[in-house]
Structure 1
Amino acid sequence: MTPDTLGPASESGAAAGELELHSGGELVSAEDAALWARLAELDQAAEEFEPRSDNTLRSYASDWRVWERYVAAVGIPLEAGTPGAFLGFVIWLGKEGKAPSTIQRNLYGAAVSLRERGVAVHPDGPKKAKKAIDALARMLAEAGEQRGRGKAPALTVMQLRMMSKALPDTLKGLRDRAILTVGFGMAARRSELANLLARDVVVTEKGLLVHSRYGKTGARSPAIKKGENEWTCAQRAWLAWAAAADLDPDGPAFVRINQHGQMLGKISGQGIGIAITAAAEAVGLEGITGHSMRAGLATAAREAKHDYKTIAEQGGWAPNSAALHEYLRIVDQWADNATAGIGM
């Protein structure tokens, strides 16, 4: 429930001037009692309000469709929120060959959707189902079986340079070079790049200031210093693209381009991902996705001895981000290793 879904304040039923007992224990007028009731409803709505991105909403909708297929297949009610229903969901998805990470996402999305439909989800249900997912992951590891594509590999600066250099100096090539270098420099999510306006990218003497208005953790303005290499300099790539495309300051920073070199309007997050993957495959790199740039900036910055706070601010990670901790652990496990210096 959100504040804008609340209807008009309900009628008290008490005549003006009558007194009612407020929850605080004091006597108040009927008008004041109605006001306090209204404020209580708004407070409750504020507690329940959770803004969600379009990507999150699409993900929940996808998870719900998987749940619908499951309940239809096993013949149980659509709104079954019991521990047995959730455990069965995990088993059913496992038999379908889904990866543990996919099953966990489907489980969470289904539980959220059930609660939003007024279903009293048993608190032990998702917890016990999560244990089944962990057991499946162990079983697959012991059997040497890998499901799903796994985590996207971190893109290195050298790989970024290879990809950028290989791009042709066509309109599409210039766009993709700007996507790569600006995206890597700000550790951008695909949706952030897709939602940038041309005026959000500000050129300064020291580099670029990029104003991302739609980040997962809110608006942010990372700075990208001038590059030391011509193929990985975000400022150079952006200026070349902006000039070639004659961008409208109030229009999108990145647009779709057809096979004839015609610009067709705002690019999507998926289009950003396709451009990155295509540039990687063109130089023989496999498994590179849009997320590889975020992982790549984090690991490269850590190798350059930048601290956690600096890296988190650059990429818009939450202070307690498990994903960022994992990226930095990959670097730190070699920088401070227990086997170093022990005579092995």
Structure 2
Amino acid sequence: MIGLYIADLASGSGPSPALSVSTIDRRLSGLAWNYAQRGFALDRKNRHIATVLAGIKRKHTRPPVQKEAILAEDILAMVATLPFDLRGLRDRAILLLGFAGGLRRSEIVSLDVHKDDTLDSGGWIEILKNGALISLRGKTGWREVEIGRGSSEQTCPVHALERWLHFAKIDFGPIFVGTSRDGKRASETRLNDKHVARLIKRTVVDAGIRSELPEKDRLALFSGHSLRAGLASSAEVDERYVQKQLGHASAEMTRRYQRRRDRFRVNLTKAAGL
């Protein structure tokens, strides 16, 4: 019966539309947990379940869709589209800090000025002479993210952060908050991580990045993860430093983010003598 249920999920022949392979995997895990709570066992390795699931994966599995990496020249073009009013200062700090730190959008908006400022804090920032040190509670636990000062004030993420905090008069609580309707005052309400996604998409269009594509396609290419992929693809340093910055548990995961940087860097065709 479970095998038929899984097949229905994949085909969409039941009351719901067809689901992706990853969603079916999650549904099956949920069923196994539910069975266990009721004192029953659901063995995912059972040959009936395994055979149906393997068939679904052979037929429907596709390579994962990766968002386009925002490279250094892209992020510079994006921040150049922002005004120098209060909102512009905030959004400039978000983009530069998110890129330089390789931060997830949820991590960006979860930051507080100090430790334990708010109950929903995901971390805090200490601004030092040579840069900023972020203590961050990520998916893999607590980690420290070092963000050094840039080569110029116009592109320095730490300087952008300092300007936002100064003009927004923020010295406690969430770092990235909303502004009043007239854009002259900072509120006390923490930004939603969707603001980061919308900001990225808007500035990508305004900066003319991938302008050869229709706007709809350009918007679909970029997301919050584009900042993390951009740092991994742009930073010409040892892989272990990128892995530490992104908080990845494995080097293999980091390599998935290093999209264009390592493409054809090693030419095995020529190395083989062709």
TM-based fold match above 0.5:
yes
* Distance in 1 of aligned mates of 2:89 and 2:50: 47
Matched, 1:226 2:149: yes
Query: How many Å apart are 1:232 and its aligned residue?
Result: 2.6
Distance 2:259 2:171 in 1: 42
Alignment-derived partner of residue 109 in structure 1: 26
Match of 1:252 among 152, 165, 174: 174
Change (3 A) 1:329 1:184: closer
The equivalences for 1:176-195 within 5 A come to 176-195=91-110
Q: How big is the shift at 1:283?
A: 1.3
Amino acid at match of 1:247: I
Cα distance in 2 for partners of 1:266, 1:127 equals 48
Q: Distance in 2 between matches of 1:342 and 1:177?
A: 47
Match of 2:224 in 1: 290
1:83 corresponds to = 3
Q: From 313, 321, 328, give the equivalent of 2:258.
A: 328
Specify the code of the residue in structure 2 equivalent to 1:311: V
Structure exhibiting the larger radius of gyration computed from Cα positions: 1
Residue deviations 1:247-291 (CA, integer Å, cap 9, x gap): 132x10111235432534001222222222222222123222110
> 1:264-275 counterparts in 2 under 5 A?
264=187, 265-275=189-199
Offset at residue 294 of structure 1 (A): 0.7
- Partner residue in 2 for 1:3: none
Q: 1:165·1:231 contact (CA, 8 Å) conserved in 2? A: no
- 1: CA distance between counterparts of 2:155 and 2:254? 23
Distance between the aligned counterparts of 1:127 and 1:244, measured in 2? 61
Q: 1:126, CA displacement in angstroms?
A: 6.2
Q: Superposed, which structure 2 residues align to 1:154-169 within 5 Å? A: 154-169=69-84
SS at match of 1:111: helix
Could you list the runs of 5+ residues in structure 2 that have no partner in the other structure?
Answer: 115-123, 210-217
Contact between 2:165 and 2:171, CA under 8 Å: does it hold in 1?
no
The correspondence of residues 69-80 of structure 1 with structure 2, limited to 5 A, is none
Shift of 1:315: 1.0
- Give the counterpart letter for 2:44 in structure 1: P
For structure 1, the 5+ residue unaligned runs are 1-79, 142-147
Q: Who is 2:119 aligned against?
A: none
Q: Per residue, is there more helix in 1 or in 2? A: 1
Would the aligned equivalents of 1:177 and 1:237 in 2 still touch at CA under 8 Å?
yes
Q: Whole-Å Cα distance in 2 between the matches of residues 127 and 226 of structure 1?
A: 55
Q: Aligned with 1:335: secondary structure?
A: coil
2:86 to 166, 171, 180: 171
The SS at the match of 2:84 is coil
Higher strand share: 2
Whole-Å Cα distance in 2 between the matches of residues 106 and 198 of structure 1?
Answer: 38
Report the equivalent of 1:314.
245
1:299 maps to 233
The verdict on how the C-alpha distance between 1:203 and 1:127 changes in structure 2, with shifts beyond 3 A counting, is: farther
User: Taking structure 1 as reference, are residues 298 and 130 closer, same or farther at Cα in structure 2, changes over 3 Å only?
Assistant: farther
Query: Aligned partners of 1:296 and 1:128: how far apart in 2?
Result: 39
**2:258 is aligned with 1:337:** no
Q: Deviations for 1:21-66, whole angstroms, at most 9, x for unmatched residues?
A: xxxxxxxxxxxxxxxxxxxxxxxxxxxxxxxxxxxxxxxxxxxxxx
Query: What TM-score does the superposition give when structure 2 sets the normalisation length?
Result: 0.79
The Cα RMSD (Å) is: 2.7
Q: How many residues align?
A: 244
Counterpart selection for 1:237 from 160, 180, 185: 160
After TM superposition, give the deviation of residue 237 of structure 1 in Å: 0.7
TM-score by length of 1: 0.64
Q: CA deviation at 1:175?
A: 0.7
> Is the Cα–Cα contact under 8 Å of residues 229 and 258 in structure 2 kept in the other structure?
no
